[in-house]
Amino acid sequence: MNSKWYKRSLFMFLSVFASGLFEVDVHFKKREYFKKYESLMQDKIQLEIDWRKIQFDLSEISSGLSLEKDAKLKANMIILDPSLAKIVILNEQKTEK
């Protein structure tokens, strides 16, 4: 009867020890996976920001705003106000039928 108590206590000790090791391992893996998750979320956010910048640049190029911006900056061009424009026609020949 005394040896059964010894075997039971050894079995209980080993099972508690094994479950403790398992718990520590699970906690460590959970922490590592959380770090990886946070890193992936930061990458996702950065990719979304880059995608929005690309879409903005594409819409700017397709609408002609970038051409207008380049004309203003590089060639010092301005948009002419139609009310101030004076059209001069030189050498106009009239053709009669």
Q: pLDDT 10s digit of each residue in the chain, 97 long? A: 566 888 889 999 999 999 999 999 999 999 999 999 999 999 999 999 999 999 988 888 887 777 777 788 888 887 777 788 777 777 767 666 5
Say how far apart CA 37 and CA 11 lie, in whole Å: 38
- Domain limits, the chain: 2-75
| Claim: this prediction has a pTM higher than 0.75 | no
Sign of CA dihedral 4, 10, 12, 15: negative
